[in-house]
Structure 1
Amino acid sequence: MLSSPPARAVGKTDARKPSGTVATLWERADKRVLALVLVLGILVAVGGYTEPDTFLRVNNLRNILTQSSIVGVVAVGMTLVIIGGGIDLSVGAIVALSSVWATTVATQEYGFWGILVTGLLVAVGCGLINGLLIAYEGLVPFIATLAMLASARGMAVWISDGKTQRVTVENAAVTDLGLPDARVLGIPPLVMIFAGIAILGWLVLNRTSFGRRTVAVGGNPEAARLAGIDVRRQRLYLYVISGLCCGIAAFMLTVFTGSGQNTNGNLYELDAIAAAIIGGTLLSGGRGTIVGSVLGVLVFTTITNIFSLNNLQSDVQQIAKGAIIVAAVVIQNRTSRTAAET
């Protein structure tokens, strides 16, 4: 005779699983995000151990957040583009072109708002061109944005004549935002801008129909089209948003450095893509998180800060970043294969 399964005590939960709110939060949590939080915690511990007199100082931590802010804003736009099934190699060049155009003598005559609006319009215009070429002309994103990279960087050199363009004394309101003692509730203004953009990006991706359409287009464009989504228009919007983020980052960089240079934004495209990848965004599209990308930026900036404090050369930093990117992609591939097999 078959024996019946052992009865469970009434009113008791399974000891193998956490119960209540803790269980719900654990099940809903993104394990990749938790892993990045752990990595960031380890890096903070390493920094505090190797340079205890410098790393954990408030000023150094503020410096890390400030340095993360500019490329972090670019990474938010890049994350949305990648989730939508695209890629944008031109973000760094767009930042350079926007900062240079916004700091010309003619533009600075219009003051603070002239610098801000000009930079935003230039960047949005570049994003619009990218979007039109990719969505409506059928160009491969890699090729279209690579062409924009070369063109925007060339225009930045041409407009600035290869020289640094300083923000004039009359427009000191711009540079005042980037002063070391500039604080809003104890937080640097650039960090607050980054936080605002990140929160807005999270809300757009997770709480709006635009975000759902972005995931659908990146996951399966044909299925999205059959479901009634205008795939071309959605892709156009994503590149415009990426351009807008570049314009904001260009203004932040102008505030931080007090100038516009054709070398601004160098390798920002690689940093933004790397942050998105280690944050859990699939290069093939259809999945990603803004929180993961923000943590990815913080991880890379913290690594750079630790290496700098320990007087390690920049080439070692690049090797470390490359190793992290490869590891993240390998983990993504294995996770995808495991999910497909199950």
Structure 2
Amino acid sequence: MTLTTPATSPAGEGRRTGLGLRADVRNLSLLGVLAVLIAVGGLTRPAEFLATSNLQLVLTQASVIGVVTVGMTFVITSGGIDLSVGAIVALASVWATTLATQEFGFAGILFTAVVVGLGCGLVNGVLVAYGGMVPFIATLAMLASARGLALQITDGKTQIVTVPSVLDLGVPDAYVLGVPPLVLVFAAVTAAGWLLLNRTTFGRRTIAVGGNPEAARLAGIDVRRQRLLLYLLSGLCCGIAAFLLVVLAGSGQNTNGNLYELDAIAAAIIGGTLLSGGRGTIVGSVLGVLVFTTITNIFALNNLQSDVQQIAKGAIIVAAVLVQRRTVRGTDT
């Protein structure tokens, strides 16, 4: 008797084809939403919204939270959560902009931001993977600790960056064919994330751990090691995002990254990453980031209050979760 696995059997192939079609439809739907938002912005504030400088601003702002969202997508796909990403960005940005760090120039700021992000990710990973702590609790503790340490380092003050090579990355003269360097970094991180999730053993293990940790363990996957690596990856993305934020703002503040965790989770969810784990999409997450960033930009240009903006974002999140539930039920049947 020949045994077939779900992945190689006709039923398995049909299931994968169905998931692929749903992902394509979901991404097309997000592109449709983005097109509608662009049309709304063009109709309400055509001169301001469609200006090249404004479009560059939207993409630049999306780059910082977008890099964080790439790391968050991996964590959620594995069935975890990371509530500390915003606080890690804040801590990495202020640590990288201290006077002592700035003495080492561009390399010192970049190195410090990345190392701090990796260090926080390592602590999260050890607590979750080897300490047996629930991800919600472990990362919530990191959120409080990182915010407190960031406040202690800055004493509530803004740390101004004085390194020209860092500040020059944010000026139009540094743009490559009209594209800001921060956007190029975001594109590179997105491409690397997509390849890692969809074309490597690491990505397949991440999906397997999120789908069924016990089955993944029985299949020979070191689940604890995988989770540790995933939180390290999330920390790395936070470190990169912190550096981008330093370039964008020209300073480090303990309030940096405020609510980034909510924005990153929301973008991943509306993009199609399953909150319970087992399915993730980098392309969908990036589209989710662009949708939210465009909404923020349109509301700002039209001088609309932020509370209305938050209501709109909340409605989009609820709609995305409801669509996810229907998709999961359809897959199961």
Match of 2:158 in 1: 164
- Taking a change above 3 Å as real, the CA distance of residues 28 and 287 of structure 1, as seen in their structure-2 partners, is closer
Structure 2 Cα separation of the partners of residues 306 and 300 of structure 1:
10
SS of the equivalent of 2:48 reads coil
Match of 2:211 in 1: 219
Equivalent pair of 1:124/1:243 in contact (CA under 8 Å): yes
Match of 2:105 in 1: 111
* Deviation by residue 1:159-179 (Cα, 9 ceiling, x = unmatched): 1111000012xx111011012
Match of 1:308 in 2: 300
The gaps in structure 2 that reach 5 residues or longer are 1-19
* Deviation by residue 1:67-98 (Cα, 9 ceiling, x = unmatched): 10000000000000000110000000000000
Equivalent pair of 2:23/2:272 in contact (CA under 8 Å): no
Match of 2:55 in 1: 61
Q: 2:221 aligns with which of 229, 247, 260?
A: 229
Match of 2:6 in 1: none
Equivalent pair of 1:275/1:300 in contact (CA under 8 Å): yes
Structure 1 Cα separation of the partners of residues 221 and 149 of structure 2:
36
SS of the equivalent of 1:262 reads coil
Match of 1:20 in 2: none
Structure 2 Cα separation of the partners of residues 180 and 87 of structure 1:
37
Match of 1:33 in 2: 27
The structure whose residues are more often helix, as a share, is: 2
Match of 1:17 in 2: none
- May I ask how many residue pairs the two structures share in their alignment? 316
1:259 aligns with 2:257: no
1:145 aligns with 2:122: no
State the AA in 2 paired with 1:117: F
The answer to which of 41-50 and 238-247 deviates more is 41-50
TM-score, normalising length from structure 1?
A: 0.90
Give runs of aligned pairs for residues 163-312 of structure 1, distance below 5 A: 163-168=157-162, 171-312=163-304
Equivalent pair of 1:179/1:256 in contact (CA under 8 Å): no
Equivalent pair of 2:102/2:109 in contact (CA under 8 Å): yes
Structure 2 Cα separation of the partners of residues 48 and 314 of structure 1:
20
State the AA in 1 paired with 2:244: M
Match of 1:96 in 2: 90
Structure 1 Cα separation of the partners of residues 317 and 21 of structure 2:
27
How much has 1:28 moved relative to structure 2? Answer: 8.5
- Taking a change above 3 Å as real, the CA distance of residues 276 and 28 of structure 1, as seen in their structure-2 partners, is closer
Structure 1 Cα separation of the partners of residues 80 and 66 of structure 2:
18
SS of the equivalent of 2:170 reads coil
* Deviation by residue 1:191-235 (Cα, 9 ceiling, x = unmatched): 000000000000000000000000000000000000000000000
Structure 1 Cα separation of the partners of residues 101 and 203 of structure 2:
35
How much has 1:266 moved relative to structure 2? Answer: 0.3
Bigger Rg, which one: 1
Structure 2 Cα separation of the partners of residues 57 and 104 of structure 1:
36
State the AA in 1 paired with 2:45: E
Structure 1 Cα separation of the partners of residues 131 and 23 of structure 2:
40
Structure 1 Cα separation of the partners of residues 282 and 128 of structure 2:
23
SS of the equivalent of 2:49 reads coil
1:154 aligns with 2:148: yes
State the AA in 1 paired with 2:267: A
- Taking a change above 3 Å as real, the CA distance of residues 283 and 29 of structure 1, as seen in their structure-2 partners, is closer
Percent identity between the two aligned chains: 75
Structure 2 Cα separation of the partners of residues 230 and 338 of structure 1:
31
The gaps in structure 1 that reach 5 residues or longer are 1-25
State the AA in 2 paired with 1:208: T
- Taking a change above 3 Å as real, the CA distance of residues 29 and 269 of structure 1, as seen in their structure-2 partners, is closer
How much has 1:331 moved relative to structure 2? Answer: 1.1
Match of 2:76 in 1: 82
